[in-house]
Structure 1
Amino acid sequence: MTAETVIPGPAGNPLVGSLFDLTRRPLRTYLAARRDHGDVVRIQAGPPGLRADFYAVFSPEGAQQVLGGEAANFRKDNAFYDELRTSVGNGLLTSQDGDYQRQRRLIQPLFTRRRVDGYAGAIAQEVKSLTERWRTAPDGVVDAADEMSRFALRTVARILFGADVEEAVAVVQRSFPVLGEYVKDRGFAPVRVPRSWPTPGNRRGLEAQRALYEICDRIIAERAARGGGDEDADDLLTLLGRARGEDGERLDPSELRDQVLVFMLAGHETTATSLAFALHLLAKHPEQRKLAREEARTVLAGRAPTAADLEALPYLTRVLKEAMRLYPAAALTGRRAVAETVIDGYVIPAGAQVVVAPLVTHRHPDHWVDPERFDPDRFLPEEEKARHRYAWFPFGGGPRACIGQHFSMLESVLTLGAVLRDFDVEAVDRRVALSQGVTLRAASPMRIRVTASD
């Protein structure tokens, strides 16, 4: 069968194509593209002479080809990753080739299941602070998105830095949202002015970057001055500093900072999104909320959660997976095709910008019955086994799959369990607008009313 070279797609505006749609409402644009044009869609954006083509791939088979089977042909070489790399460094999320392989070898031993399970105590400590604060919330109302962002940031900072939490959290809370908007705006700009130009956007973005670099560099330098931490310290920064390869290779101070920044970004924004939307969905669905609370209260029974509880909370695990289906933190992922290839019967040219979209694939009607409906039982073992491996891929896939998958699930399930053990939740805001930057976020309030259990 001959592959098609003409790929369907929206007509767009004669002057700028689909530029405004991609920058203002990218999620709606990609959802409409699959609905109207199929599993491989060409979307043009930008004015004549500066127009860029994006090839969106929506089928599980296509996503597997890009991220898994032909991953070497699809590189993180697009404008977005260029901007992210320049802003937060050449860490595990953004590095490639030899740099990535070296970093992965050094860091992988720090993310074994046994090592990650050891962080359950830090998670439980932050959950305790969270639930204590919620008991005094005015009118019992909290914003789930804000609260989960603060909680996840404090948790990852505690795991990274140990005792050096408060100042780092304050700087990151101020600076990461600014830097994220800066990366997004420059990544989609038809023309990127030099960062050295004193534009308002450059000044804001570079000041946020400077603040993040300074706090990380200071903590790393202070830790090095103390000999790399206490002998029995197990915070991630100390372990990263001690990591050695077979030939004695190690991360230098700038590489340590790059890894810390990537872990801070990826380790808090993704988990915060999953937790916030899980609470939001349960707050709107009393039947599923009842089942989740019964499991949490039975298993945890008034005590702090531990890593051993993860396997004993299967319904909460299904709730989290369903929340990540509907609202995956990494809703869109871009690559550049090195060589011409064929995906789902269409020729993708060499050099093309290729987008896979978990948020769209996760709602694909060929793979999900009534895809807009919240149903945790989609993730019963027999249901998962029957589906294509890439019908659900919130952690990516292939050789670049997220190294922190187990940590994210451990933190999310234990936190959700502790919250539902102590509180009933009810939605105040039933509809929530979405925003796509570095990660998926709520663009409007996500308030829930929390009522302490008897």
Structure 2
Amino acid sequence: MTTVKARVPGPSGHPLIGSMLDLTRRPLRTYLAARRDYGDVVRFTAGPPGLRAEFFVVFSPEGAHQVLGSEAANFRKESAFYDELRTSVGNGLLTSQDDDYQRQRRLIQPLFTRRRVDGYVDAIALEARMLAERWKAVPDGVVDAADEMSRFALRTVSRILFGADVEAAVDVVHRSFPALGEYLLDRGFSPVRTPRNWPTPANRRGAEAQRDLYGICDRIIAERALRPDGAGGKSDDLLALLTLARGEDGERLDPDELRDQVLIFLLAGHETTATSLAFALHLLAGHPEQRHRAQEEADAVLTGREPTAADLEALPYITRVLKEAMRLYPAASVIGRRAVAESVIGGHVIPAGAQVILAPLVTHRHPDHWEQPERFDPDRFLPEREKERHRYAWYPFGGGPRACIGQHFSMLESVLALGVLLRDFDFEVIDRRVALGQGITLRVDSPMRIRLAPR
């Protein structure tokens, strides 16, 4: 029988602001230290007296299963951060709840079946080929993996969403999303938020970035509705399919809902994949034995031709490389929820109304579930070894009823693109250590340079 403990342990922090500085400046390092020092459920306080917030961070796979799976109905996407995210990028699949979420999921799920997603492989192959050709022309062979993969993933998801309109969207999104993300993070985690309509410099920057993003999406959606090759059904890009999507009773997405879904797909569909690819390249650049093994597989499968959807199954080692990169550096490195009713996690009482944080980056390095957790070892993901682990020892795509709808798309894009780059280039690491930060997703806060050599 599990003993229930009323008080959750945790750092006391500074007398005036609690753990606010540590969580602001080095959140991931703070969470790693908290698990080591206090266990699998840790209580934090942050903020000045009178505005101090309390929240609970859960590090165990069993706790993650409770929050995302077995007790998912009790843990909702409700917080100041989610309020800001909804205001900034709309009420799409990532942010919606209850009837809105169920309706959207019913309409959109058919567009993310394995068969449908496999149809996007031509766009992935085209962007991978264009990237490889551009890299061959880099004078000194030095590129920043994080910047390059961000641009590649954005172009790929934009091509899949917008088809021929990809060029119209990429520059605006590449410029505006980081500015909007910084703005909503500052607001979402600030103890005091000024009204958005106050003419502060931050509010003006946030409003401009949002206006630019909404403007380009609304323009493409409106133009597509007037074109016979778009909403008329002749185009098979994702925007056309979203426009045509119908429920059993004929329900459809209106223009605002279309824009909300497009913005969510642009955000979630490029930042997460970019993070996984960047760290996979960086890790391989610094580990010659694993890189050579991955290159042998890429050569055997992809030499002399473009990748196809069937190649995903033919590249098991490269798939394991991606999974190991996502273990060490999951794009969704923290996940937030609010407890509706009191719950017990790991023997600790979580009160009703409490903010609960999951930290996949910490769980993925939990020494009770991963031997030598800091070591890069793709063979951790051999099928027989995966079966031995708790389902939530590795959960870069979340889990439960709100698991990421784009999981197969992300793996297809990442594995095939990495295969093409391994086939065409050798890599050498320059910036062996990189600084991590926490944005909407895991962020690289220092150069991540690698040196390329065409093979």
TM bucket, shorter chain: over 0.9
Paired residue for 1:11? Answer: 12
SS in 2 for 1:164: helix
- Identical-pair percentage: 79
Q: Secondary structure at the match of 1:41?
A: strand
Aligned counterparts of 1:428 and 1:154: Cα–Cα separation in 2 = 26
Aligned equivalent of 1:340:
342
Residue 103 of structure 1 is matched in structure 2 by: 104
- The yes-or-no answer on 1:120 pairing with 2:106 is no
1:203 and 2:204 aligned? yes
Q: 1:313 touches 1:413 (CA, 8 Å); kept in 2?
A: yes
Q: What is the match of residue 220 of structure 1?
A: 221
1:317 is matched with 319
Deviation at 1:76, TM superposition (A): 0.2
Equivalences for 1:131-170 in 2 at 5 Å?
A: 131-170=132-171
After superposition, residues 53-452 of structure 1 pair within 5 angstroms as 53-227=54-228, 228-229=230-231, 231-452=233-454
Cα pair 1:18 1:43 within 8 Å, conserved: yes
Deviation at 1:230, TM superposition (A): 5.1
Query: Which consecutive segments of 4 or more residues in structure 1 shift more than 4 A?
Result: none
CA distance in 2, matches of 1:103, 1:374: 38
8 Å Cα contact 1:75/1:338 also seen in 2: yes
Contact 2:20 2:45 in 1 (8 A): yes
Q: What is the TM-score when the length of structure 1 is the normalising length?
A: 0.99
Paired with 1:2 and 1:391, the residues of 2 have a C-alpha distance of 23
**Cα deviation digits, residues 184-222 of structure 1 (max 9, x gap):** 111110111111111111111111001000000000000
Name the stretch that deviates more: 1-10 or 104-113. Answer: 1-10
- The answer to whether the 8 Å contact 1:90/1:258 transfers is yes
User: How big is the shift at 1:11?
Assistant: 1.2
Query: Structure 2 CA distance, aligned partners of 1:394 and 1:244?
Result: 30
Q: Distance in 2 between matches of 1:183 and 1:293?
A: 40
Contact 1:302–1:421 (CA<8 Å) still a contact in 2? Answer: no
2:27 aligns with: 26
Structure 1, 297-306 or 384-393: larger mean CA deviation: 297-306
Give the SS at the match of 1:368.
Answer: coil
Distance, in Å, in 2 between the alignment partners of 1:140 and 1:441 is 24
Secondary structure of the residue aligned to 2:165 is: coil
Per-residue deviation, 1:225 = 1.4
Which amino acid counterpart does residue 305 of structure 2 have in structure 1?
R
Cα RMSD over matched residues? 0.8
CA shift digits 1:129-175 (9 cap, x unpaired): 00000001121111110000000000000000000011210100110
Which amino acid letter does the alignment assign opposite residue 339 of structure 1?
A
Structure 1 Cα separation of the partners of residues 32 and 167 of structure 2: 40
My pick for the range that moved more, 224-233 or 165-174, is 224-233
Structure 2: runs of 5+ lacking an equivalent: none
Aligned residues: 453
Whole-angstrom distance in 2 between the partners of 1:199 and 1:14: 30
TM-score, reference length from structure 2 = 0.99
